[in-house]
């Protein structure tokens, strides 16, 4: 059994969903990590959940990135530990510099709360290992600032190094502007770092792990990391 | 000493809020208003002996926290006592 460490910031609101997915659905162990904690309680994988950390004041994720827990998360990531940022957690990873780029307001200025389809672009990350390349996942989104932006050079590098992991697409898997809910560059829904152990995405896989919730497509991301850790061994912080 | 920090989106970054305000102004008949860009304004009380020190301190916090260099730039002004 592996331990999921789920960071709780003031204003996180998908922490319980992530905990439920990891423990009740996947049958793994889960621990909450308060933002003022300084150690990861033996977590084998760290999730930064969705929500509105610190009320999204200043910029999304801008205050959360300076939380006392973050140095431990960054050290864990540096040592190769799998880190997943979901929605607001993705925004925190961007602000912390663990992933490149930034989020702008959705191009239509509207908060989008709906199901979208994303295409798995690469499965050589701990969170997409058991997914197939090109597999379409139907996942919910709920955000006002998911319009991924980075300068042209950074986007070109992300593409060249195969670090765009999820792209918004239509039912057929075609990446179209109509399928892009927020205006994100190149329909980017999720990316990974250079070492591929840190993944961030705007959609919510943790809210799509059971059929009763409308989709179980997100489950593959949790199963992937369980498999990845079984294969590669467990990364622990000191 | 008071320092003022103005944070704006870089010119290369699309500003959907500014564009919406611009459209609203045009629909109100303000044809003379061109491009609108929305930004943030911070007023900081800083403990510093000189205006230079106050400006340096404000610039440091702007760099680290107030602005995100990926999308934003900033300008600092210090009110002379």
Give me the CATH number covering residue B45: 3.30.1280.10
Mean pLDDT over A51-80 rounds to 96
A151 in B contact zone (CB under 8 Å): yes
The percent of residues above 70 in pLDDT, for chain A, comes to 97
pLDDT per residue, tens digit, chain B (81 aa), is 999 999 999 999 989 899 999 999 999 999 999 999 999 999 999 999 999 999 999 999 999 999 999 999 999 999 876
Does residue B41 sit at the A interface (CB-CB below 8 Å)?
A: no
Q: What is the pLDDT of residue A238?
A: 36
Rounded average pLDDT over A168-174: 97
Calculate how close chain A gets to B16, using CA atoms only, in Å. 6
pLDDT band of A234, cuts 50, 70, 90? low
Q: Which residues of A134-157 are buried (b: 16+ CB within 10 A; e: fewer)?
A: ebbbbbbbbbbbbbbbbbeeebee
Number of domains forming the structure of chain B = 1
Long-range pairs, B61-66, Cβ under 8 A, ≥24: B61/B5, B62/B5, B62/B7, B65/A58, B65/A62, B65/A66, B66/A58, B66/B5, B66/B7, B66/B40, B66/B42
* Chain-chain contact of A104 with B14 (C-beta, under 8 angstroms): yes
pLDDT of residue B81: 66
Is the separation of the CB atoms in A194 and A124 below 8 Å? no
Question: According to the model, what pLDDT value does residue A68 have?
Answer: 97
A112 touches chain B (CB under 8 A): no
pLDDT tens across A191-216, in order? 999 999 999 999 999 999 999 999 99
What is the arithmetic mean of pLDDT over A7-26?
98
B1 in Cβ contact with B48 (< 8 Å): yes
**Maximum separation of any 2 CA atoms in chain B, in Å:** 49
Q: What integer pLDDT is reported at residue A235 of this predicted model? A: 55
Residues 6+ apart with CB under 8 A from A18: A4, A6, A30, A47, A49, A86, A206
Structural domains for chain A: 3-232 (3.40.50.880)
Determine the average pLDDT of the residues in A141-153: 97
Residue B53's domain comprises: 2-29+36-78
């Amino acid at each position: 059994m592996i331990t999921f460490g789920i960071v709780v910031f003031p204003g996180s609101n998908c922490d319980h969903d992530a905990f439920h997915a990891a423990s009740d659905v996947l049958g793994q162990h889960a621990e909450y990590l308060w933002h003022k904690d300084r150690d990861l309680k033996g977590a084998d994988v760290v999730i930064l959940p969705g929500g509105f950390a610190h009320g999204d004041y200043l910029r999304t994720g801008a205050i959360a990135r300076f939380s006392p827990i973050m140095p431990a998360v960054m050290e864990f990531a540096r040592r190769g530990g799998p880190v997943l940022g979901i929605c607001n957690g993705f925004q925190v990873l961007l602000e912390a510099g663990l992933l490149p780029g930034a989020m702008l307001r959705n191009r239509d200025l509207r908060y989008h709360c709906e199901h979208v389809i994303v295409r798995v672009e690469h499965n050589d990350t701990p969170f997409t290992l058991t997914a197939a390349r090109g597999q379409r996942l139907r996942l919910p989104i709920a955000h006002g600032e998911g319009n991924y932006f980075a300068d042209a050079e950074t986007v070109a590098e992300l593409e060249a190094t195969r670090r765009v992991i999820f792209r918004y697409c239509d039912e057929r898997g075609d990446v179209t502007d109509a399928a892009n809910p927020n205006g994100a560059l190149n329909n980017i829904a999720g990316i990974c770092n250079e070492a591929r152990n840190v993944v961030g995405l705007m959609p919510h896989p943790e809210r799509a792990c059971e059929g009763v919730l409308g989709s179980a497509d997100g489950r593959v991301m949790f199963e992937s990391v369980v498999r990845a850790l079984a294969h590669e061994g467990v990364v622990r912080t000191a | 000493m008071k320092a003022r920090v103005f944070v704006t989106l870089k010119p290369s970054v699309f500003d959907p809020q500014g564009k919406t305000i611009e459209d609203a102004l045009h629909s109100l008949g303000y044809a003379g208003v061109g491009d609108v860009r929305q930004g943030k304004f911070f007023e900081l009380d800083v403990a510093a002996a000189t205006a230079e020190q106050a400006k340096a301190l404000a610039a440091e916090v702007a760099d680290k926290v107030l602005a995100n260099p990926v999308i934003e730039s900033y300008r600092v002004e210090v009110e002379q006592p």
